[in-house]
Amino acid sequence: MSPAVSRLPEGAATAALAEPVLRAVHLNKAFYLGETIYAVSDVNLAIGQGEFVVVTGPSGSGKSTLLSLLGGLDRPISGDVILDGHRYSRFNENGLANLRRTKIGFIFQFFNLIHHLSALENVLLPMSFAGIPRRQRLERAEELLDLVGLGQRRHHLPLQLSGGEQQRVAIARALANQPKVVLADEPTGNLDSKTSEEVGRLFARFNRELGQTFVVVSHAEVFHAHAHRVLHMHDGRIVRVDQGQRG
C-alpha cells in the first residue's frame, strides 16, 4: 500500500451530495486469523439519494465486507453506518433486521433464491416479512416480475430458470419493499456477458426511471456505463474515486 494512496484526502469518497441517504463514518472491520487483517479500514462514504455507485477492486480488497457493513449484516469494530438517518450502532439485532426488511435490498453473486419457493413466492417473501397485506403484496410482486421480464414464469422454481433469469428474480425481490438502497455484490459474477448486459440495463432502468439508489460491487464494465461514481478499493481502503460515465 503506497503512502500516497493511503493519504487520500478525507471526503474524496464523500461526494458533494445534498442529502446522503447512506453514510459510512470511519468504518473499520478486522478479522483475526493469527494476525489482524483489516478487511475494511477507515472507510468514509456518502451515497446520495438516487445515486448509482460502483465499487471495484481486486479480490480480497474488502468489497463484500464493506457491503455487509453497509447492509447491517455485520457489525464494524468501530465507526458507524447511517441509513436514512438511522445509526446502525443504536440498533440491536432485531432493529437491524427491521432495517434490512424495509430499507435495504440485497442482490448476491449466487442469486441466493429460496429453492423450494417459486419466483413469485421469492419476491413475496420480504413483503410478508414486512407485513404488507396479501393483496397488495401479490400485486407488487407480479408487477415487479413483469418489469424484470419474467411475468410469464412467475410460478417456476429457481432451478427451472437460467442464471440470468434467477438473478432477475433476485432483483425483483431486492426491490420488493421499495428499499432506500439496493446493495449488490458481484451480481453478474456468475453470468455470461450477454446476460450481464441485461442485468446492467435493468439496474440502470430502475435507477433512472424510479430513482432507485444502487451500490454495486462489480469488476464488470457493464455497470460503469450507468454509474455516477466508481470507488476503487484496495486493502480495505477506498483508494480512488472516479467519475462514472453518468457522473
Partner 1 sequence: MTFLALGFINAWRNLNRSALAALGMGMAAAVTVVALSLSAGYPGGAAYEYRRFVGGDVLIYASGHQVRETHLTGEKAPGSLVWRVLPRDPGTHLADFHPELFTVGTLMPAGSPPLMDPDAIARRALAEPAVRAVYPRYSLPALQETAAGAFKRELRGRNLELDRAVWRFERRVVAGRYFEPGDAGRPVALVDARAADVGLPAAAVGSTLRLLVPRVRYGPDGQPWFDYAAAEPVELEVIGLYTVPTRWRNLNTGHIYGGVAPAGTRGVRQYYWVTPQVLVPQETLLALFAAAGGRLPMPVAEVALVVHNLAFVENAVRRLQRLLPEHSVISTVRQARLANQAGRPERAEAGAELFQAGYAGPAFAVEVDFGPALVGLVFGIASLMMVANLLVVVHGRRREIAVLKAVGAKSREILTMVLVEALTVSLAGVVAGFLLVQWMVAVNILTSRPDLAAVGLTSARTLGWLVLLAVGFSLTFGLVPAWRAARLTVMEALRTR
Ligand X SMILES: Nc1ncnc2c1ncn2[C@@H]1O[C@H](COP(=O)(O)OP(=O)(O)O)[C@@H](O)[C@H]1O
Would residue 215 be called left, alpha or beta, if left means φ above 0 and alpha means ψ between -120 and 50 degrees?
beta
| Surface-to-core class of residue 17, CB atoms within 10 Å of its CB (0-12 exposed, 13-18 middle, 19+ buried) | middle
Mapping DSSP to helix (H, G, I), strand (E, B) and coil, where does residue 128 land?
A: helix
Q: Which of residues 120-149 bind partner 1 (CB under 8 A)?
A: 125-126, 128-130
- Angle of CA points 141, 142, 144, to nearest 5°: 65
Q: Which of residues 49-68 bind partner 1 (CB under 8 A)?
A: 64-65, 68
Choose the binding region for ligand X from 2-10, 62-70, 88-96, 197-205 (rule: CB under 6 A): 62-70
Question: Is 36 a residue that touches ligand X (CB under 6 A)?
Answer: no
Q: Which of residues 28-87 bind Mg ion (CB under 5 A)?
A: 64
Cell of 26: 470511519
- Nearest approach, Cβ of residue 73 and partner 1 (Å): 5
Residue 165 and residue 123 in contact, taking contact as beta carbons nearer than 8 Å: no
Phi and psi at 73, nearest 5°, equal: -85, -15
| Total residue count of the chain as it appears in this document | 247
Question: Is 41 a residue that touches ligand X (CB under 6 A)?
Answer: no
- Angle of CA points 172, 75, 109, to nearest 5°: 35
Q: For residue 143, what are the β-bridge partners?
A: none
- Return the residue of 25, 27, 39, 145 that touches ligand X, per CB under 6 A: 39
- Return the residue of 8, 17, 37, 157 that touches ligand X, per CB under 6 A: 37
- Tell me which of partner 1, Mg ion, ligand X, none is bound by residue 62, counting a contact when its beta carbon lies within the kind-specific cut-off of 5 to 8 angstroms: ligand X
State the Cα–Cα distance between residues 229 and 86, nearest whole angstrom: 24
Question: Is 62 a residue that touches ligand X (CB under 6 A)?
Answer: yes
Question: Is 31 a residue that touches ligand X (CB under 6 A)?
Answer: yes
Question: Is 31 a residue that touches partner 1 (CB under 8 A)?
Answer: no
Question: Is 101 a residue that touches partner 1 (CB under 8 A)?
Answer: yes
Binding site for partner 1 (CB under 8 A): 64-65, 68, 71, 73-74, 93-94, 97-98, 100-102, 106, 108, 110, 112-116, 125-126, 128-130, 173
Binding site for ligand X (CB under 6 A): 31, 33, 37, 39, 57, 59-65
Binding site for Mg ion (CB under 5 A): 64
